């Protein structure tokens, strides 16, 4: 399927590694010119360079989206070669060990600033151009914890619910404009860092030594009907479709991609 992204420009925040990197690579493979964003210049440039070596078009934007000044730096770099048509708000932080009893209000505010307000900063900076041109895509990357929270990471779960709500509210604001707003609520993502963490946990629990031995037990902690943890590319495929003209009738919704997750 030709997603018709040739000629479009996309900014993917937090794309110097992990899921954001996979999304940037997928959009570039579909013909979009991508802006790879990160705070570490060397790591961000390495991703952009790799995309260009694979035949894609990529530049970088460096800045801390937790601040207004950093967001403005990213905006300026992102639009230097042309306007942004597709904004993927992916940047976010989380703390798997956080619980209600040891997560002070300041930690809630910090996570909310990075995971929610960073998206607001970029929407407010890039949306006017999309509206003026009468076409655009704004995509929030959230987590299934936004609608299925647990006792751990309460602040992270709350920010994901806020991201989903943000996407729906923005769609109402953008009615009849040609710009759509949606969210993708991701389940487990088997990034290299996540796999390393799970292998370490599994070995400590005595589940085995290799990933093949440990994976079935980790999936059992958060079961789904598919029976495995998805790789970043599987999420990137959905984001690429949402970014395409073919997805123009999808608006104001949160798409859950979690393998059919269910409670134990």
**Strand 136-143 to 179-186 pairing:** parallel
Q: Residues, the chain, total?
A: 264
How many degrees, rounded to 5, is the angle at CA 40 between CA 141 and CA 65? 45
Q: CB under 8 Å to 41, separation ≥6 — which residues? A: 60, 62
Q: Closest Cα partner for 34 from 16, 60, 54, 71?
A: 60
Instruction: Kindly state the DSSP code that residue 8 receives in the 8-state scheme.
Output: -
In whole angstroms, what separates CA 216 from the centre of its chain? 26
Query: Which residue is catalytic, options 156, 235, 249, 262?
Result: 156
C-alpha span between 236 and 182 (Å, rounded): 14
The C-alpha torsion from 4 through 8 and 9 to 12, rounded to 10°, is -30
Do 232 and 191 touch, CB atoms closer than 8 A? yes
Tell me if residue 112 is catalytic.
Answer: no
| The token pair that represents 20 in the structure block | 């954001």
Q: Look-up: residue for tokens 């210049």?
A: 41
DSSP reduced 3-state for 214: helix
Q: Look-up: residue for tokens 């440990």?
A: 214
In whole angstroms, what separates CA 116 from the centre of its chain? 12
Q: By CB neighbour count within 10 A (0-12 exposed, 13-18 middle, 19+ buried), where does 248 fall? A: exposed
Provide the annotated active-site residues. 156
């Amino acid at each position: 399927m030709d997603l018709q992204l040739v000629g479009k420009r996309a900014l993917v925040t937090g794309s110097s590694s992990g899921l954001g990197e996979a999304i940037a690579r997928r959009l570039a493979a579909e013909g979009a010119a991508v802006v790879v964003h990160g705070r570490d210049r060397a790591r961000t440039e390495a991703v952009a360079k790799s995309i260009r070596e694979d035949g894609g078009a990529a530049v970088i934007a460096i800045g801390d989206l937790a601040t207004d000044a950093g967001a403005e730096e990213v905006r300026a770099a992102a639009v230097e070669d042309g306007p942004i048509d597709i904004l993927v708000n992916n940047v976010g932080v989380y703390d798997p060990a956080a619980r209600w009893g040891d997560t002070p209000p300041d930690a809630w505010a910090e996570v909310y600033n990075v995971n929610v307000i960073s998206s607001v900063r970029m929407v407010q900076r890039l949306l006017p151009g999309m509206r003026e041109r009468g076409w655009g895509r704004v995509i929030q990357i959230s987590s299934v914890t936004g609608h299925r929270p647990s006792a751990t990471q309460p602040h992270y779960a709350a920010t994901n619910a806020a991201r989903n709500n943000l996407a729906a509210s923005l769609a109402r604001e953008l009615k009849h404009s040609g710009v759509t707003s949606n969210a993708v609520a991701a389940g487990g993502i088997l990034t290299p860092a996540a796999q390393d963490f799970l292998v370490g946990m599994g070995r400590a629990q005595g589940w085995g030594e290799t990933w093949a031995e440990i994976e079935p037990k980790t999936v059992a902690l958060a079961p789904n009907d598919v029976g495995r943890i998805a790789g970043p590319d599987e999420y990137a495929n959905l984001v690429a479709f949402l970014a395409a003209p073919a997805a123009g009738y999808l608006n104001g919704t949160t798409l859950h991609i979690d393998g059919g997750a269910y409670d134990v």
